Amino acid sequence: MALLAPSMNHSEIERTQSPHVSDGVLIVNKPDGWTSHDVVQRTRTVLGIQKVGHAGTLDPHATGVLPVLIGKGTKVAQYLVNWDKEYAAVLQLGQKTDTQDAWGTVLEEASCESLSEDAVRSVFSTFHGAIEQVPPMYSAVKVGGQPLYKKARKGQTVERQAKTVVIHDLEIQRMAIPEVSFRVACSKGTYVRTLCDDIGGQLGVGGHLKWLQRTRVGPLHIEQAIDMESLPDAMSYDGAWWSLDRALESFPAVEVNDDDARKVLHGNAIPWHRVGWVEERPGAAMTGEGMRVRVKNKEGSLLALGKGPLLQSGQNSPVLVLDTVLG
């Protein structure tokens, strides 16, 4: 049975408020039947904080890793949504549906009796590297300013532009035709249900996504995620709770002195010669566009994200430009 998300009144919210909520990223294992927004709403209620968001929507019937952004963590969504994803999934062959998953209307059916495992493996092997995907009608992609799913619910179908996504790894884990269990590591924007639909189409029998669990988002793994029932104690789970500094550690760190730290907090650019490396990375050579870095004070506290060195109009010396102030 799916875990329900009952509403709570104002007094209940006050009783659940935690005095130890910090800015950061919480790794939540989204349950079946919950929207990503449901998880955000429950987190607001349980932790008693209004600034809550997420990085990467999961369909209601999908489970698994949902990065929930807390406090100033909501400012870094744009940097996290680009992370690669990994999923465990089950492909159901022999049925094509309008939603490309098990919760839609069956449009076509075909027998899989003559389908061999070798044929399935052969088609799977063609989905590797950069591929083209047409976004499904039942998706949040906007065409003409309106999400496709709204048009789909009215029975409308519109032309969609194919987009390039990257399949880093696609591995069949179990096959019992008409079901195929597999693991896929892919770039952001990849629709696993479209992958299932495309594979079924190439096999000539149709197919749809029967089950989906997101097992990884960037460095965040399902083994670290907490269930919704554990939200009241979220801050005590080291694996599930990531500081902003930890979540953004793929960006090299620089530091500034106390005077410049105050300027950073006001969003002011800093002369690059006054910026010092905390941890210069191999391949971190500067380009004309600069590179994104974490900006810290001398005590090691994260203040902002910025780019540098950059030459601004009318200046002769490069500067560190602030993108997002976090301190």
pLDDT tens, position by position, 150-190: 887 878 788 888 999 999 999 999 999 999 999 999 999 99
Q: Is the pLDDT of residue 243 over 70?
A: yes
Residue 2 has a pLDDT of: 43
Max Cα–Cα distance, the chain, nearest Å: 74
Check whether residue 186 and residue 94 sit in a common domain: yes
Domain membership of residue 59 (yes or no) is: yes
Instruction: Round the average pLDDT of the chain to a whole number and report it.
Output: 89
Residue that the structure tokens 């930890």 belong to: 246
Check whether residue 263 and residue 236 sit in a common domain: no
pLDDT tens, position by position, 258-288: 999 999 999 999 999 999 998 766 554 444 5
pTM assigned to the model? 0.88
Domain membership of residue 3 (yes or no) is: no
Check whether residue 232 and residue 261 sit in a common domain: no
Q: Is the pLDDT of residue 207 over 60?
A: yes
Dihedral sign for Cα 76, 82, 87, 91, please. positive
Check whether residue 227 and residue 212 sit in a common domain: no
Please report, for residues 40, 49, 142, 231, 252, the alpha-carbon distance to residue 245 in angstroms, rounded to integers and kept in the order given.
Answer: 22, 20, 33, 22, 11
User: Of 197, 216, 235, which residue constitutes the final position of a domain?
Assistant: 216
Please report, for residues 24, 74, 167, 182, 225, the alpha-carbon distance to residue 172 in angstroms, rounded to integers and kept in the order given.
Answer: 35, 36, 14, 4, 25
Check whether residue 125 and residue 188 sit in a common domain: yes
Check whether residue 101 and residue 183 sit in a common domain: yes
Q: What is the 3-state secondary structure (H, E, C) of 6-20?
A: CCCCHHHHHHHCCCC
Dihedral sign for Cα 81, 85, 87, 91, please. positive
The Cβ-side half-sphere exposure at 241, using a 13 Å CA radius, reads 15
Residue 282 has a pLDDT of: 54
Domain membership of residue 302 (yes or no) is: yes
Domain membership of residue 195 (yes or no) is: yes
- Asked which of 59-68, 94-103, 228-237 is least confident by mean pLDDT, the reply is 228-237
Please report, for residues 9, 17, 43, 212, 254, the alpha-carbon distance to residue 249 in angstroms, rounded to integers and kept in the order given.
Answer: 38, 29, 25, 29, 12
Whether the link from the prior residue into 60 is cis, omega within 30° of 0, is no
Share of the chain above pLDDT 70, in %: 91
Task: Return the closest-CA partner of residue 294 out of 249, 239, 247.
Answer: 249
| Phi and psi angles of residue 141, each rounded to the nearest 5 degrees, phi first | -60, 135
Domain membership of residue 237 (yes or no) is: yes
Taking phi over 0 as left and psi of -120 to 50 as alpha, with beta for the rest, 231 belongs to alpha
Check whether residue 54 and residue 124 sit in a common domain: no
| Cα gap 112→91, rounded to integer Å | 13
Check whether residue 89 and residue 212 sit in a common domain: yes
Check whether residue 90 and residue 194 sit in a common domain: yes
Specify whether the CB–CB gap between 254 and 294 falls below 8 A: yes
Check whether residue 73 and residue 89 sit in a common domain: no
| Nearby residues of 57 by Cβ (< 8 Å), 6 or more positions away | 36, 140
CATH number at residue 285: 2.30.130.10
CATH number at residue 37: 3.30.2350.10
Numbers of helices and strands, H then E, in the chain: 8, 20
Check whether residue 199 and residue 233 sit in a common domain: no
Check whether residue 77 and residue 92 sit in a common domain: no
Residue that the structure tokens 């839609």 belong to: 104
- Residues shown for the chain: 327
Q: Which residues are catalytic?
A: 59
**Encoded amino acid at 278, one letter:** V
Domain membership of residue 158 (yes or no) is: yes
Domain membership of residue 182 (yes or no) is: yes
User: Which residues make beta-bridge pairs with 88?
Assistant: 183, 213
Each residue of 279-306: b (16+ CB within 10 Å) or e? eeeeeeeeeeebbbbbbbbeeeebbbbb
Task: Return the closest-CA partner of residue 62 out of 33, 98, 19.
Answer: 33
The whole-number average pLDDT for the span 217-243 is 93
Domain membership of residue 4 (yes or no) is: no
| Phi and psi angles of residue 263, each rounded to the nearest 5 degrees, phi first | -70, -40
Structure tokens at 206: 């149709």
The number of domains in the chain is: 3
Q: Is the pLDDT of residue 103 over 90?
A: yes
| Cα gap 166→132, rounded to integer Å | 9
**Domain limits for position 18:** 10-82+219-244
